[in-house]
A and B are shown apart, each in its own frame.
Chain A
């Protein structure tokens, strides 16, 4: 079983739609959680950190459920420019583990 699991997708949704991704992690010692965005053939870039209380940044909302060990990302009013792979990350004091990513494609 992978330490961080994501649905690989692809999610293919129309512009303006709301889309949600989930990610589960197996290491209960994980302390910090992040969502990264990776465009084709580019490096991962931090989208947002995920806090226990949930946090929002514009159209993006992240939630953490420690009891069930999952993290979610919600994108509202999706734009064409949101098309990318979204990587979930769980880190402890000694390890950072990436999920394999969920591919999102926004169509006009």
Chain B
């Protein structure tokens, strides 16, 4: 079946630190992969996506590379800001049914000044 596993949180960093949030997936075939972000009190927003192996998604300084060989899609940012504090969700959409999405459990990021 399809599933997404992400690292447990919370992750607490100081401003300007390097961020990595690990995400691995299990899927049939080659799904599309996404990172969504949820700021406090809000719904989720798409942060970035990748639709095929070796694609790199990027947005707002965040990056993630679709690694087929390791079934991973780790989120990285070189220098986090306090405003990046949020919950981050890794997700996939199944290749046979793009309208079925599978989300990880979410990783809360706290960035301290």
- Determine if chain A interacts with chain B: no
Chain B interface residues (CB < 8 Å from chain A):
none
Chain A interface residues (CB < 8 Å from chain B):
none
